[in-house]
Amino acid sequence: MFPIERPRRLRRTSALRRLIAETSLAPADLVAPLFVAEGREEARPIASLPGHVQHTVASLVDEVRALHAAGVGGVILFGVPEHKDELGSGAYDDAGIVQVALRRLREEFADEMVVMADLCLDEYTSHGHCGVLRADGAVDNDATLDLYARAAVAQAAAGAAVVAPSGMMDGQVGAIRSALDDEGYVDTVIMAYSAKYASALYGPFREAVGVEIAHGGDRRSYQQDYRNRRESWREARLDVDEGADIVMVKPAMTYLDVLSDLRREVDVPLCAYHVSGEYSMIKAAAAHGWIDGEAVALEQLTAIRRAGADFVLTYFAREVAEALNS
């Protein structure tokens, strides 16, 4: 009789386990989403995202400094404008809050930190949709592309190293790439939210940025249907063909199959967005003492890397980076 198989042999000590680990998680693999609000004197806590605030430009600079010191790989900015309008003009106005914040971060950090800007209209439109509306209330894909192109140029001019279109309009990456190139911003990176699903997990984010979709609407005519998997292959391939430098899957934990597929489907860097609801669920359960929040965060972020992500956008970035460093 043969001896029994003993996979446990390699799990005996923590030194052996570390040696054979297939996946690593380091601060440099994390990108912190940050909110910056216009016309506010003081940072304001976001109740549904414990530990996160709507920053002033000054408090944003302090936060980015702390993230940089912790070795976090980058930050991605979201704006909270004072005024919204039908066309979301705050998204592409040179005086818009994200453009103001980007200029300040460039002065302070130059290229020491990778500064990204989410590129969308929803925080800036009075109706809360990611694009402009036609007379019949539907989102007008091609009219929206012109505004995304303007936003990309405004963000690049203000100093964003990476622009991240998140609106799921067809052709958005191509439109942004040609506008950037035409204006000479050939080095600005495009990180495309390629496989972005219409998800109930964005709830806390919408509170964070004060977005409410008019008439009880939703984003199902532009974001993907969570029943679909193959569709994400096509979305990612189209984005890469149009010039995406990095592609993203969002949310993360409920779409690890998609992440794993895209790792095989495209050869550009791949990331995943561990979204607001994913963060808040862990925080809420941990606050009850039902789970160990930090351990669950490490497990989830590592699982996202295991499934194929090169890096992860996460509200845990600072907390987990500091834990990994200690």
| Active-site residue (options: 55, 177, 250, 274) | 250
| Active-site residue (options: 84, 177, 196, 274) | 196
Task: Say what angle helices 293-307 and 256-265 make with each other, to 10 degrees.
Answer: 30
Closest distance of CB 41 from ligand PBG, Å: 25
| Of 16 and 297, CB closest to ligand PBG | 297
| Of 50 and 108, CB closest to ligand PBG | 50
Contact between 279 and 314 (Cβ < 8 Å)? yes
Bridge partners of 17?
none
How does DSSP assign 53-119, residue by residue? EEE-HHHHHHHHHHHHHTT--EEEEEEE-S--BTT-GGGT-TTSHHHHHHHHHHHHHTTSSEEEEEE
| Of 175 and 275, CB closest to ligand PBG | 275
Closest distance of CB 31 from ligand PBG, Å: 12
- The secondary structure element, H or E, covering residue 164 is strand 162-165
Catalytic: 283? no
- What Å distances lie between residue 115 and 60, 90, 316, CA to CA? 12, 19, 17
Catalytic: 250? yes
Closest distance of CB 5 from ligand PBG, Å: 43
Closest distance of CB 201 from ligand PBG, Å: 6
Report the 10 Å Cβ neighbour count for 112.
Answer: 10
CA 290 remoteness from chain centre: 28
Residues that bind ligand PBG (CB under 6 A): 118, 120, 122, 130, 166, 202, 205, 219, 275-276
| Of 59 and 280, CB closest to ligand PBG | 280
Active site (catalytic) residues: 196, 250
